[in-house]
Chains A and B, each alone.
Chain A
Amino acid sequence: MDLADSPEDAEFRARLREWLGKVLPTLPPKPSPDDWPGRRAYDLGWQRTLYDAGYADVHWQASPGVRLIFLEETEKAGAPYVGAGFVGLLHAGPTIAAEGTAEQRARWLPPILRGEEVWCQGFSEPDAGSDLAALRTRAWRDGDDYVVSGSKIWTSHAEVADWCELLVRTDPAAPKHQGITWLAMPMDAPGITVRPLRTLAGSAEFAEVFLDEVRVPVTHRVGEENDGWRVTMVTLSFERGTAFVGEVVACRRVLGELAVEARRNGRWDDPVLRRRLGALNAEFRALWRLTQWNVSEAEAKGGLPGVGGSVFKLRYSQARQELYDTAADVLGDESLDTDRPWVHDRLSSLSYTIAAGTSQIQRNIVAERILGLPKGR
């Protein structure tokens, strides 16, 4: 067991730190949370900056050390978050890298890395959320195209996306896990209507997407026809397994800030609150260690992140909510003022036990696939 940087890792860390110190002060001001075109431009601009400096593909690096150092150092330095690049960089891109053909990798991966294209995820439907394989959006072959009709919902960043990782049903007669296909759909194709949905935090972060005979070339299919469920499992393993790990570092930073604020406003003297902050410190330290453990194990097994990601996701989503509930106790009445820091984060943390598979679904996965308990009804 080893937690120290290897000499190469240490060098990478030092170089990255120095670079961040130089580049962060030159960044333009962050756009407001509701300004989606502004956020797209800002997030892609940051990705481009990373690309030019040689850091763009860090999330896809083989070395777990480098990847975690990148997440740790950028967060500590307060660098921009992947933001609109989330789906492309953290799960669509890695899925294409793992499952796509050489042409597909050449077509889609470089623009993601260069910060030119944004992806969204069209998995959920109004009647297929937790039961994802119940999806009904249809696609049938017409010459060299699939023709797609149906609708998707809760699609994050759909308004500003160029591409959508889309699940469609290509064989309605097959058992429900077998007739699914994974497609890359261009979001500017005729027949697509995006209708923004307002979240409980007040912003239009996700949308409904209506598909009316949208034509998607057959060459845009990743994996075989009707073998999309297997490809989907790859995508979900990235989404649950590794996409959230950087946020743990951010939570640790917030916790430090909360302690300072509590000291300033006197609430630090409340032993119950102080101990809760202490317990959260333990929690986020442990979650970071669990991340290091999972990443090391995945590397040793030479493959994709495993179902251990569900263990992490369950605990992390809950811890994040506790963090911001505690923030509200530190703020007191000010926690009712949406202009105060942390209040918006508290609202958005409510989605963490739902999005990317609810906690109930994660518990099923842990129980059945790790502990081997029988499937039931």
Chain B
Amino acid sequence: MRFRLTEDQRALRDGVRGLLARRFDRAALRAAVDRPGRLDRALWRELGAAGFFALRLPEADGGVGLGLPETVLAFEEAGRALLPGPLVATHLAAGRVPGAAEGETVVAAVDAGGLVEWLTEADVVCGEVGGAVPLRSVDPLTPLHRVPGASAAADPVAVLLTAAEQLGTATRACELAVQHARAREQFGQPIGAFQAVKHLCAELLVRVEVARAAVYAAAVTADPVDIAAARLLADEAAVGGARDCLQVHGGMGFTWEADVHLLLKRAWLRTRRAGGGTESEELLAADLLSGGGR
């Protein structure tokens, strides 16, 4: 057992982080907020060229030939950068929908829970979308439709990649909170010197670290029960993290200007994707009776 990132995995993570820092920095994020509902196709193709969608596709089929752990690391970075778009759906379509792997085709999908992200912007939509009704999405960076009467069981890979995105967003929330706590002064000192603030930040980190261990382990085992656990903890880390980050930011956190609301809204949205909440809890409960707790 060596449960830590390999050199290659670190390099891959840093590579994705670097690409996103160059191509989707804060200015790009805010520009995207000002242009809701439109996807940056050039960036999508760049992600495709970098292998983002084809990470798990065998090399023989033109893919990168890596595994779930590497994919999880890439999706974590996407979540950290709040990268918009139907990332999970397009990734899952690679090798099945022409152009998906290369980032030429934007693929949306009907989630097992009946929601579709980026329906109108997508080139291809997987699933039955008759009667789709648009929602005024709470997340300015994710257009949404509801489809009546959906549901197949959730794909465990989709559940895990959602968890990875949540983990990334939770990490970002922790980073932003700590940054602000160091910089903002009140009563003549940085607010991070106050224990009440310090303890919020500590809890942010604890949730991130617990979620990280769960998400990475699930990527290694690919076991549906591990994936359910990872999803629960990552949802908690992302939503709880964004809330605490907002609290640390005070009044500024409640403004449209600050990025905190973008983190929270995206985290909320992902919790509604199939495989979270009750569904995972029931799966984990059933596992206890089948002896899985031991």
- Name A residues whose Cβ lies closer than 8 Å to a Cβ of B: 1-6, 9, 64-65, 68, 76, 252-253, 255-256, 258-260, 263, 268, 274-279, 281-287, 289-290, 292-293, 295-297, 299-300, 308, 311, 314-315, 360, 362-364, 366-368, 370-377
List 17 contacting pairs A-B, 8 Å CB cutoff, sorted by A: A3-B217, A76-B294, A259-B289, A274-B281, A277-B288, A278-B282, A278-B287, A282-B284, A290-B214, A293-B216, A363-B199, A363-B203, A364-B199, A364-B202, A371-B201, A372-B182, A374-B192
Residue ID in chain A nearest B182 by CB atoms: A373
> Is B226's beta carbon under 8 Å from chain A?
yes
> Is B106's beta carbon under 8 Å from chain A?
no
* Chain A nearest Cβ from B6, distance in angstroms: 7
Please name all residues of chain B whose beta carbon is closer than 8 Å to the beta carbon of A275 when the two chains form the complex: 278, 281-282, 285
CB-contact partner of B9 in A1, A65, A295, A308, under 8 A = A1
B170-211 contacts to A, CB under 8 A, are 178, 181-182, 189-190, 192-195, 197-199, 201-203, 205-206, 209-211
* Chain A nearest Cβ from B16, distance in angstroms: 16
> Is B293's beta carbon under 8 Å from chain A?
yes
Contact B1 A370 (CB under 8 A): no
CB-contact partner of B214 in A285, A297, A371, under 8 A = A285
- Interface-lining segment among B18-26, B137-145, B227-235, B251-259: B227-235
Contact B217 A259 (CB under 8 A): no
Residue ID in chain A nearest B203 by CB atoms: A363
> Is B239's beta carbon under 8 Å from chain A?
no
Contact B285 A277 (CB under 8 A): yes
Central interface residue in B214, B285, B294, by most chain A CB within 10 Å: B285
Central interface residue in A64, A259, A278, A377, by most chain B CB within 10 Å: A278
Contact A282 B4 (CB under 8 A): no
> Is B133's beta carbon under 8 Å from chain A?
no
Contact A366 B205 (CB under 8 A): yes
Residue ID in chain A nearest B208 by CB atoms: A311
Contact B3 A3 (CB under 8 A): yes
Bound complex: CA A146 to CA B205 (Å)? 43
> Is B291's beta carbon under 8 Å from chain A?
yes
Residue ID in chain B nearest A297 by CB atoms: B4
Do A376 and B194 form a contact, CB below 8 Å, given A278-B280, A292-B217, A314-B202? yes
- Name B residues whose Cβ lies closer than 8 Å to a Cβ of A: 1-6, 9, 69, 178, 181-182, 189-190, 192-195, 197-199, 201-203, 205-206, 209-214, 216-217, 219-221, 225-226, 228-230, 232-233, 278, 280-289, 291-294
Please name all residues of chain B whose beta carbon is closer than 8 Å to the beta carbon of A289 when the two chains form the complex: 3, 213-214, 216-217
Bound complex: CA A290 to CA B5 (Å)? 14
CB-contact partner of B288 in A68, A259, A366, A370, under 8 A = A259
CB-contact partner of B216 in A1, A6, A281, A376, under 8 A = A1
Bound complex: CA A292 to CA B1 (Å)? 8
Please name all residues of chain A whose beta carbon is closer than 8 Å to the beta carbon of B294 when the two chains form the complex: 76, 252-253, 256
**Interface Cβ pair total, 8 Å cutoff:** 188
Do A367 and B192 form a contact, CB below 8 Å, given A68-B1, A286-B210, A308-B209? yes
Bound complex: CA A253 to CA B206 (Å)? 24
| Contacts A274-B282, A282-B281 supplied; 13 other A-B pairs, CB < 8 Å | A6-B1, A255-B293, A274-B281, A277-B284, A277-B288, A282-B280, A282-B284, A364-B195, A364-B198, A371-B201, A373-B193, A373-B198, A375-B193
* Chain B nearest Cβ from A28, distance in angstroms: 25
Closest 3 CB pairs of A and B: A376-B193, A256-B293, A278-B285
Residue ID in chain B nearest A258 by CB atoms: B288
CB-contact partner of A293 in B4, B280, B285, B291, under 8 A = B4
* Chain B nearest Cβ from A21, distance in angstroms: 16
Bound complex: CA A308 to CA B202 (Å)? 12
Bound complex: CA A4 to CA B220 (Å)? 9
Please name all residues of chain A whose beta carbon is closer than 8 Å to the beta carbon of B202 when the two chains form the complex: 314, 362-364, 366-367, 371
Bound complex: CA A120 to CA B4 (Å)? 34
Bound complex: CA A285 to CA B233 (Å)? 10
Contact A293 B3 (CB under 8 A): yes
Residue ID in chain B nearest A286 by CB atoms: B214
Residue ID in chain B nearest A276 by CB atoms: B281
Contact A282 B285 (CB under 8 A): no
Please name all residues of chain B whose beta carbon is closer than 8 Å to the beta carbon of A263 when the two chains form the complex: 289
Please name all residues of chain A whose beta carbon is closer than 8 Å to the beta carbon of B285 when the two chains form the complex: 259, 274-275, 277-278, 281
* Chain A nearest Cβ from B88, distance in angstroms: 21
Contact B3 A292 (CB under 8 A): yes
Central interface residue in B197, B203, B219, by most chain A CB within 10 Å: B203
Contact A373 B214 (CB under 8 A): no
Bound complex: CA A263 to CA B226 (Å)? 23
Contact A65 B1 (CB under 8 A): yes
* Chain B nearest Cβ from A205, distance in angstroms: 28
Bound complex: CA A269 to CA B90 (Å)? 39
Please name all residues of chain A whose beta carbon is closer than 8 Å to the beta carbon of B1 when the two chains form the complex: 2-6, 9, 64-65, 68, 292, 296
Please name all residues of chain A whose beta carbon is closer than 8 Å to the beta carbon of B226 when the two chains form the complex: 285
Please name all residues of chain A whose beta carbon is closer than 8 Å to the beta carbon of B287 when the two chains form the complex: 278, 281
Residue ID in chain A nearest B177 by CB atoms: A371
Contact B229 A282 (CB under 8 A): yes
* Chain B nearest Cβ from A53, distance in angstroms: 23
Contact B4 A278 (CB under 8 A): no
